[in-house]
Amino acid sequence: MSEPFTTHEVFNQPPPLEDVNLFTSDVALKNAVEREGAGAVREALAAFGQVAGSAAALERGRLANEHLPRLKSYDRQGRRRDTVEYHPAYHALMRTSCEEGLHSSVWSHLVQSGRKPRPDAYVARAGAFYMSAQMEAGHCCPITMTNAAVPVLLQEPALAEAWLPKILPFRYDPTFAPAEEKTAVTLGMGMTEKQGGTDVRANTTKAEPAGGGGAGAEYIVTGHKWFMSAPMSDAFLVLAQAPKGLTCFLMPRFLPDGSINALRFQRLKDKLGNRSNASSEVEFHGAHAWAIGEEGRGVATIIEMVTHTRLDCAVASAGLMRFALANAVHHAEHRTVFQKKLVDQPLMGQVLADLALDVEGATALSFRLARSFDRATDEQASAWRRLMTPITKYWVCKMAPAMVAEAMECLGGGGYVEEAPLARLYREVPVNSIWEGSGSVMALDVMRVLQREPEAVEVVMEELAEMAGEDSRLRAAHERVQSFLQEPALLDLRGRTLVEALAVLAAGAILKAGAPAAVADAFIATRLAGAPRQTYGQGLERADTRAIVARASPNHV
Ligand SMILES: Cc1cc2nc3c(=O)[nH]c(=O)nc-3n(C[C@H](O)[C@H](O)[C@H](O)COP(=O)(O)OP(=O)(O)OC[C@H]3O[C@@H](n4cnc5c(N)ncnc54)[C@H](O)[C@@H]3O)c2cc1C
């Protein structure tokens, strides 16, 4: 019933989109999970979708972003502590995601008999992570970093043996105490310095061997990091200059004798979005750390962590785009304008369908990438993982800000107000394209594959040709990419063109094979063929926009 006010009744305002199952109400997500081989976990994902989309969980997301983390440098008596205090809602979100295993599930096999990974571990995790980002995106940062740190730790067996038993359990323990006293731990990373983030070889932070030095040995680290997120992590993977060059270290918050390690947080960043997640500036005043890998091999050692975080950036961005779309469609289905539901106004139908196509493409490509991590021993999947990780990260994360802005506009003025989730989503989304390798850095990574691993490009191009089949538009897009590859002299300048062309071709080919014809045909007609355009709601006059929007609706299932 509408609520009585003194002067007017409140009507024609949609109910909030909450207590919605983020899995069962999302047809594109369900299709992607099945298509990429994780159908066996659909019930578990449906159970998590209920939790993540509950009104209580979404409210925790709001609270964690309104009550920001605070740096507490000293305790009451003036002793140095360097801790960060979070709102209880943040801890509750962390608990939800950790108990779902999002920080470690793909590594569960390490403690199981046979030590054989589940064939669907990454896709299954991606399904839940996609929903966790919708519940609240900021807390996903430590979740991602903990998961991504594991393959690096595995390179140093003694450290892995000490830390994995605390990382792998599906638990969360926020206590500020030595890892041995805790039931669970999380990990962060510190690479970026003031004078260089992308160019980590410019790092000036120094590491001196405490004894003989070398892989697994103890070092004393002095210097700084300009960004180090999730400062209450129990340990960090840190890059620093050892005598023989840039080296990767594990730096714990507490030393083996139980004292606090010499990490001094200077301040927390005042960020555009991602506000529930603390990001610190930190100095290391002779902090103790243990080398992972040999001196001088820092970048090669930490690269697996970076690759894993790039997958998560794409999956989370696709999830955030989905949440923006679901809110836009939900609003349009409930709001009447000029005697018609907004969703039935022809131009709104064009815009919503167009937004849905980007979400379909982003979701399809992110989950195909997750599958390539599951099958990394297979030559085709391994080539896909190498080439398509930077491409997927680039395309999905870069699309998100414009897409979320248009979705916000679908809600009119109410979309711009902080109480609606769209405003927070809009401030959140740019971060995924900036951190873990910004746009041009992704394009440069693709150039590196072309130069050093051309066979991976060949394998992916062959697979895409097969997927294109007889579709003339996909074939033309494939030929266009081939023509770029045949002009290596221009690739330095065409990096972004090539990346986008490959992303759209791959997304179109996946949708062609696995999505309803209405979706695949409209995606291909507008993204691979058709007139160039810069804004949404164009080129779909012959498409079945009703079918596309109905599939995107969170209310029709
Ligand atoms: C919210 C947030 C949290 C973060 N948390 C962490 C963290 O926990 N740990 C951590 O280590 N870092 C963290 N970062 C840092 C982040 O990873 C870096 O900011 C990022 O890698 C870019 O580095 P930079 O800021 O030094 O920019 P630069 O490296 O100076 O890059 C500036 C621009 O130049 C472009 N560019 C760089 N090289 C080239 C080139 N050769 N050709 C063309 N263009 C180029 C880049 O794409 C970018 O657009 C965080 C950043 C943010 C925003």
| pLDDT, tens only, 47-56 | 999 999 999 9
List, chain by chain if needed, residues with CB within 6 Å of any ligand 1 atom.
Answer: 188-192, 196-199, 227-229, 271, 274, 279, 431, 434-436, 438-441, 444
Taking all residues of the chain, what is their mean pLDDT, rounded to a whole number? 96
Distance 199 CA to ligand 1 centre (A): 9
Cβ atoms of 204 and 195 closer than 8 Å = yes
CA–CA gap between residue 434 and residue 440 (Å, rounded): 10
Q: Which two structure tokens, joined as six digits, stand for 444?
A: 């440069």
Nearest CA owner, ligand 1 atom 26: 197
Helices 439-452 and 454-468 sit at what angle, rounded to 10 degrees? 100
* Ordered alpha helix ranges (H), 137-205: 140-153, 157-167
Mutate-to-test residue for ligand 1 from 84, 198, 492, highest number of ligand atoms within 8 A of CB: 198
Nearest CA owner, ligand 1 atom 46: 438
CA–CA gap between residue 124 and residue 135 (Å, rounded): 17
Give the dihedral of Cα atoms 495, 498, 500, 502; nearest 10 deg: -140
Cβ atoms of 123 and 38 closer than 8 Å = yes
Cβ atoms of 141 and 187 closer than 8 Å = no
Cβ atoms of 293 and 300 closer than 8 Å = yes
Distance 155 CA to ligand 1 centre (A): 26
Q: Which two structure tokens, joined as six digits, stand for 257?
A: 């004798």
CA–CA gap between residue 482 and residue 471 (Å, rounded): 16
Nearest CA owner, ligand 1 atom 22: 197
Mutate-to-test residue for ligand 1 from 144, 195, 227, highest number of ligand atoms within 8 A of CB: 227
pLDDT averages per 10-residue partition of the chain, 557 residues: 76 96 98 98 98 98 98 96 97 98 96 87 98 98 98 97 97 98 98 94 97 97 98 98 98 97 98 98 98 97 97 98 98 97 98 98 98 94 98 98 98 94 97 96 96 96 97 97 90 93 98 97 96 95 97 90
Helices 88-99 and 140-153 sit at what angle, rounded to 10 degrees? 50
CA–CA gap between residue 284 and residue 264 (Å, rounded): 6
CA–CA gap between residue 419 and residue 14 (Å, rounded): 14
464 φ, ψ to 5°? -65, -35
Which of 225-245 are b and which e, b meaning 16 or more Cβ less than 10 Å from the residue's Cβ?
A: bbbbbbbbbbbbbbbbbbeee
Q: Which atom from ligand 1 is nearest to the alpha carbon of 196? A: 26
Distance 353 CA to ligand 1 centre (A): 34
CA–CA gap between residue 128 and residue 488 (Å, rounded): 40
Mutate-to-test residue for ligand 1 from 435, 448, 491, highest number of ligand atoms within 8 A of CB: 435
CA distances from 162 to 172, 232, 371 (A): 18, 19, 30
Which of 272-288 are b and which e, b meaning 16 or more Cβ less than 10 Å from the residue's Cβ?
A: ebbbbbbbbbbebeebb
Nearest CA owner, ligand 1 atom 51: 435
